Amino acid sequence: MHVYDASMRVYLVVKRKPLAEVPVLYRWLARWVYFRIGWASDFGVEYQGVYTDEAEARYAASSQGMSYTTLPLNGSLPEETCQFSTHDFPLSDASIAYRRRQLPLQAVPVAGMEQLRLLEAKLDNLVGGNGQPVNGQRDNGQLGPVNGQPV
């Protein structure tokens, strides 16, 4: 396993035949398979470029059949199909669905795992082994916000 800096990312832009040119039934089936199991054929994929800026990659991928995905620089994702970061087809009618997809496995930078471990340790101090607060303690915002929401 290679540990990488989360800020070291690149954006790969690729082109393939647009699904809009495929009959509706096949388009539906291709998207169902993609969103259900996270698999898509790489047949016909043409690599267009690699960018260090996401806005430039999105702009470069703003043609029919184009997409971009975020990849770690000088690192590899695991062999298992996983979600790392952005994967989008900017001009697709399903662009929002591609950006909101949630795969069962996610690749998380080491820094993110450290934050989760710290939060878990704080929760262990507040909650007994049976899931009940220790001595009637409550959070009262002591753990701080997570994604803008109190823990």
Q: What is the pLDDT of residues 80-132, one digit of tens each?
A: 766 677 778 887 887 777 777 766 556 666 666 777 788 888 888 887 655 55
Determine, yes or no, domain membership for 72.
Answer: yes
Same domain for 65 and 29? yes
Range of the domain at 18: 9-100
3-state secondary structure the chain: CCCCCCCCEEEEEEECCCHHHCCHHHHHHHHHHHHHHCCCCCCCCEEEEEECCHHHHHHHCCCCCEEEEEEECCCCCCCCCCECCCEECCCCCCHHHHHHCCCCCECCCHHHHHHHHHHHHHHHHHECCCCCEHHHCCCCCCCCEECCEEC
Domain total in the chain: 2
Report pTM: 0.52
